[in-house]
Structure 1
Amino acid sequence: MIGTNPFDDDKLHEECGVFGIYNHEESAAHTVLGLHALQHRGQEAAGIVTFDGRNFHSHKSMGHVADNFNSQKVIESLPGMSAIGHVRYSTTGGSAMRNIQPLFADLSSGGFAVAHNGNLTNAWTLRKILVEKGAIFQSTSDSEVMIHLVATSTYTNLVDRVVDALRRIEGAYSVVALSQKKLIGARDPLGVRPLVLGKLSDDTYIFASETCALDIIGAEYIRDVEPGELIVIDADGLTSHHPFPAKKPRPCIFEHVYFSRPDSITNDRSVYEVRKNIGKELAKESTVEADLVIPVPDSGVPAAIGYAQQSGIPFELGIIRNHYVGRTFIEPSDQIRHLGVKLKHNANKAEIEGKSIVLIDDSIVRGTTSIKIVEMMRAAGAKEVHMRIASPPTTNSCFYGVDTPEKDKLLASRMSVEEMAKYIDADSLAFVSIDGLYRAVGETSRDSNSPQYCDACFSGDYPTPLTDEALGEDNKQFSFLTD
C-alpha cells in the first residue's frame, strides 16, 4: 500500500492535538470543528467525550475527523454542554482502539476524561510502580498513567488530585480534562507543548493546541496557558492556579519551524511571519547565485517567500502538490513506489528546465525525501539544485511528544553537511544556524547558558530528566504510545 504522503513520511510529526469547550449547547459540533483545524497534528485517530449533566458520552474512531464525525447522528450521540477532543498521530508503539483518546474512567469522585499532547519521560517508571500496587491498565498510552495517578491520590478535592498527579510526572504535556462540573487545562512547567485559552461568549471557554482551532469556531484568543499553569473552568467562572515552582519557559521551537499551522499564533508570534523570517535569515547566511527560489510544498512556502524577498531571487512554484490524492492499494513494487511520489508532488517542468534553483524545505530527517526532490528537479531539467533548510541539522531524537527516528537514523547525526549534500545529490546544502533560528523568533541569539526554547532535536540539550530513557530498552517490558 502506498500512503497519501510520500514526502511527509520523512518529516518530524507532532503526535497530538487537544481541544476542550465548556458551557455551549453545541459543544460536540464545535469540538469536531476544532479537531478539523488541528487535523495536521494527528491523522491516525480522533475522539470526543461529552458530558450532558448526568452522563458522559464518547465517540472514537481510527482515521480522519471528517471520515468519522461527518453525520448528524454522530453529533446527536454526543449530547452535553461540555466536551473535550483529541487527534493523534501514529507512533511506533502500534495502533489500537483502546489507545484512542480522550481516555475515560469512573473515579471515586465521579467520571473523569483526559486528553493529552506530549510525552511523559518517566511514564514507564510510574506505570511499573502503579502495576505493582494493583493498578490495571487498559491501554499502552502514557496518558493512562495520569488517570491512575489522579485515581490513587490521597487528596479529596479533584483539582488537588490532578495537581498531585502532575507533580509526579516528568516530561512535556498539555492536558485537557473533563469532570462532571469542571473543564481543566494544564501545561507543563516549561511550556514545551502548546495550549491556548479562548472565549466564545461570556461563559463559554475553550482550550486548544493552536489558535487556528479558535478561529474556525469564531472564538476570541485570550492568551496562551502559561507554563506550569492549571486553569479550572466551572460554574463559578475561570480560576488560574500556579502549583509548581516557577521555571524559565522552554517552549518547543519546532512549533515555529513545522508543527503549527502557519495561520496560528504560537508563543505570541505569528507562525507565518516567523517562517518568513527564517527564510530571510537563511538568505543572509547562505546566499547563492540562482534563477529561482522554489519551496517544497506546503511547509517550505513561507520560508521560501522570505528567502526570495531577502535575496531578490524570484519565487516560483516549481513543485505542484496534489491536495486530492487518496490512498492507493496498488501492489507496492519498487517501480510503483517510485511513481507513487508523483501522486502528491510533481515538478513544474516549464519553470524549472535550464534554471539554477534554490529549494527550500523545513528540515531533513532521514534524507529520503530530499533525495527524491533533488532527483525530481534534475529530471525536470534543472541546471543546478541548491538546497536550503529552514532549521538547523536535526541530530537528536525528541522525547517530548514528537515522532522522531532513532538518533542513528537521523542523517545529520552521522554525516557532515558536505556529506549530506553529496548523499542527496545537491550542488550545495546549507541549514539556518541555531542563532539564525532564534533571531527569526525575535531573540538576538540562543542563550547557551539558559536557552529560551526547547531545541534538543538540534542541540541535544534536554530540559527535563529522561528517566525512562536512562533505563534502556532491555529493562522495559513494553513500549508506550506517546500522545
Structure 2
Amino acid sequence: MWRARSQGPKEYCGVFGVYGHPEAARLTYYGLYALQHRGQESAGIVTSDGKHLHQKRAMGLVPDIFSERDLKGLKGHIANGHVRYSTTGSSVLGNAQPFIINYAGHGLCVGHNGNLVNAHELRRHLEKEGSIFQTSMDSEVVMHLLARNIHMGFEEALVSSLSQLRGAYSFLFMTEDTLVAARDPQGFRPLCLGALGDAYVVASETCALDLIDARFIREVEPGEVVFIDKNGLRSIKPFTRQRHAHCIFEFIYFARPDSYIFGQTVYSVRRRQGAQLAEEFPHPDADLVMPFPDSGNYAALGYACAAGLPFEMGMIRNHYVGRTFIQPSQDMRDFGVRVKLNPVRELIKGKKVVIVEDSIIRGTTTMARVQNIRNVGAAEVHMVVSCPPHRFPCHYGIDFSTKGELIACNHKVEEIRNLLGLDSLGYLSIEGLLESTSASRQGFCLACFDGEYPVPVDENAGKFCLEC
C-alpha cells in the first residue's frame, strides 16, 4: 500500500477533556471528532471513575478507533482525549496519547499540544539520574519531572515541573479525581474552557464545544493552570508574565474557521487576509477568483469581495478520499493530486484566474495543481498567498523543522513563480497579515516568516520537534 503524504503543513495535536459528566467518554469522542483536523495519525481517550483509569488508544481516525462497545467500556465522569499527527518514524502506537503513568499507587495521564524546545536537554539529564523513557515523545519528559517532585504534593509538583519547560504547550492532565489544563506563558497554542450543565469542558478549539452544545466560558490564559475537581474550577498563574507569542499560523491554516481563538473568530480573520491581499496585489482584469479548497476558501472570498470580482469554486474537492490508495502506475504521476481536487474545465478554460492559497510550504502539490489549471486551458494563472513566505523552520509544533523543506528559504519570489508555472505570484506582507488580525507584532509568533524566535532554540532542538 502507498500512503499519500500531504504537502500542506501539519499541526501536531488537539486535546479535549470533560469533568463531571456521566457520558464523559462519549462527549470526548465527539470533541475529538471536531478536532480531527489537528491530528489524523492516532487518537486516544482515558477516563476515570474516581478510582481507576480506563483507556483506549489506537492508530487511525477517531471514528475508526472507537466503537460503541469501546465508549461503554470507558467508564467514568472524567475524560482526557487526544488526537495526534506524527511524522515518519514516530507514527507508532507507543507514542499515541494521552500518555499514562502509574506512580505510588495512583494513575496520571497527559495530552499535549505543542513542542518543548528543551526536551532533549531535560531528557538527557533525567536519564543520567536514572529515568527510563518508554516513548520518543517530548511529552513524556514532563511526566518524569512530575514523578520526581510528587513528594511536594500534586499542585506544587506540577508547577515545579512546568517551570522547567521551554517552548509551546497546551497540556491536559488527569488524575483519578482531577482534570488540569495548563498553557505555556507565551500562549503559543489555543486552549479554551466550556461548560455543559454542571460539567466542565476543556478543548483546543471552540468548534469542539459547539458540537456538544457546550457553552464557551473563556480561553485559558497564557501561563495559567486550571484545576477542576469536586470543588469546582480553580485557577492559578504561577509564572512571571511574558510576552505573548500566539502562533499566527493558527489563523492562516490550522484552526477551523468556525473556531474562536486568541480573541477572534478565525473565519473573520481569514476573510480580512483576503481583503488585504486584494489591496496589496490587485488583478482588476481577472475573470474570476478561486481557492484551492478547503483552506483557501475564506481568504479567496475576502479577496473577491474586496476586489469586486466573481468568486468561483474552480476546483472541486473529493470529500471521500481515504488516507491510503492503491499505488498508481507510472503514467499516472499526478494521481495523488487529481484524486483530491479536479478543475472545472468549462469554468476555467480561456479565463484569467486568480488563485488564493493559504500558504506554500514545499511547493510540490501547488505546482501540480497549477499545472492542472493550465491543462484545462486557463488563459492566465495568478496566485496570491494569504501569508508571507515561510523562510524559517518552526520549533514550536509544526512539521517544517528544517530550512531545506521550505521552498521560500531557497528561492526568491520570482523564482518560485517560475517554478510553479504562474503568471504572477504575491505573498501577503507581514504588516498586512498583522493588519488582518487587528493586532501588533508583539502578540504573535512570526518566527517562520522573520526568524525571530520568541523562545530561544539551540541547535539540537530539532531532535524532538517531530515527536510532539
TM-score bracket relative to the smaller structure: over 0.9
- Separation of aligned partners in 1, 2:333 and 2:176: 50
- Structure 1 counterpart of 2:402, from 387, 406, 425: 406
Partner of 1:231: 226
SS in 2 for 1:261: coil
Partner of 1:462: 453
Partner of 2:142: 146
- Structure 2 counterpart of 1:31, from 28, 40, 50: 28
Does the 8 A contact of 1:303 with 1:360 survive in 2?
A: yes
Which amino acid in structure 1 is aligned with residue 265 of structure 2?
Answer: S
SS in 1 for 2:182: strand
- Separation of aligned partners in 2, 1:315 and 1:259: 23
- Structure 1 counterpart of 2:120, from 98, 118, 124: 124
Q: Deviations over 1:455-480 (max 9, x none)?
A: 111111111121xx42477xxxx756
Does the 8 A contact of 1:140 with 1:481 survive in 2?
A: no
- Separation of aligned partners in 2, 1:340 and 1:456: 31
Does the 8 A contact of 1:411 with 1:420 survive in 2?
A: yes
1:419 aligns with 2:420: no
Does the 8 A contact of 2:16 with 2:204 survive in 1?
A: yes
- Separation of aligned partners in 2, 1:284 and 1:51: 53
Which amino acid in structure 2 is aligned with residue 133 of structure 1?
Answer: E
Does the 8 A contact of 2:337 with 2:365 survive in 1?
A: no
Q: Deviations over 1:141-168 (max 9, x none)?
A: 1110010000001642201111110000
SS in 2 for 1:218: coil
- Separation of aligned partners in 2, 1:299 and 1:452: 24
SS in 2 for 1:11: coil
SS in 1 for 2:306: helix
Deviation at 1:109, TM superposition (A): 6.7
1:385 aligns with 2:381: yes
Which amino acid in structure 2 is aligned with residue 362 of structure 1?
Answer: D
- Separation of aligned partners in 2, 1:349 and 1:3: 28
Partner of 2:59: 62
SS in 2 for 1:14: coil
Which amino acid in structure 2 is aligned with residue 270 of structure 1?
Answer: T
SS in 2 for 1:403: coil
Superposition pairs of residues 255-270 of structure 1, within 5 angstroms: 255-270=250-265
Deviation at 1:188, TM superposition (A): 0.2
- Separation of aligned partners in 1, 2:192 and 2:202: 6
1:372 aligns with 2:357: no
Deviation at 1:339, TM superposition (A): 2.2
Partner of 1:452: 443
Partner of 1:278: 273
Superposition pairs of residues 69-108 of structure 1, within 5 angstroms: 69=66, 71-108=67-104
Does the 8 A contact of 1:18 with 1:85 survive in 2?
A: yes
Which amino acid in structure 2 is aligned with residue 470 of structure 1?
Answer: E
Partner of 1:352: 348
Deviation at 1:329, TM superposition (A): 4.0
- Separation of aligned partners in 1, 2:464 and 2:106: 30
Which amino acid in structure 2 is aligned with residue 211 of structure 1?
Answer: T
Which amino acid in structure 2 is aligned with residue 458 of structure 1?
Answer: F
Aligned length: 467
- Separation of aligned partners in 2, 1:45 and 1:327: 13
Which amino acid in structure 2 is aligned with residue 271 of structure 1?
Answer: V
- Separation of aligned partners in 2, 1:481 and 1:136: 20
TM-score by length of 2: 0.97
Does the 8 A contact of 2:46 with 2:80 survive in 1?
A: yes
Which amino acid in structure 1 is aligned with residue 353 of structure 2?
Answer: I
- Separation of aligned partners in 1, 2:78 and 2:184: 23
Deviation at 1:11, TM superposition (A): 1.2
- Separation of aligned partners in 1, 2:135 and 2:49: 26
- Separation of aligned partners in 1, 2:224 and 2:147: 21
Partner of 1:343: 339
Does the 8 A contact of 1:357 with 1:384 survive in 2?
A: yes
Partner of 2:163: 167
- RMSD (Å), alpha carbons: 1.5
Q: Deviations over 1:54-75 (max 9, x none)?
A: 2110000100001011x22111
- Separation of aligned partners in 2, 1:368 and 1:205: 43
- Structure 1 counterpart of 2:8, from 11, 27, 30: 11
Does the 8 A contact of 1:352 with 1:377 survive in 2?
A: yes
- Structure 2 counterpart of 1:216, from 202, 211, 215: 211
Does the 8 A contact of 1:253 with 1:455 survive in 2?
A: yes
SS in 2 for 1:21: strand
1:250 aligns with 2:245: yes
1:182 aligns with 2:178: yes
- Separation of aligned partners in 2, 1:187 and 1:44: 23
- Structure 2 counterpart of 1:397, from 393, 400, 407: 393
Deviation at 1:180, TM superposition (A): 1.6
- The 1:459/1:147 distance shift into structure 2, 3 A limit, reads same
Partner of 1:324: 320
Does the 8 A contact of 2:86 with 2:467 survive in 1?
A: no
SS in 1 for 2:217: strand
Q: Alignment identity in percent?
A: 47
Does the 8 A contact of 2:136 with 2:467 survive in 1?
A: no
Does the 8 A contact of 2:43 with 2:83 survive in 1?
A: yes
Does the 8 A contact of 1:23 with 1:82 survive in 2?
A: yes
Does the 8 A contact of 1:185 with 1:232 survive in 2?
A: yes
Does the 8 A contact of 1:2 with 1:327 survive in 2?
A: no
1:43 aligns with 2:43: no
1:482 aligns with 2:467: yes
Structure 2: gaps of 5 or more residues: none
Which amino acid in structure 1 is aligned with residue 85 of structure 2?
Answer: Y
- Separation of aligned partners in 2, 1:110 and 1:330: 46
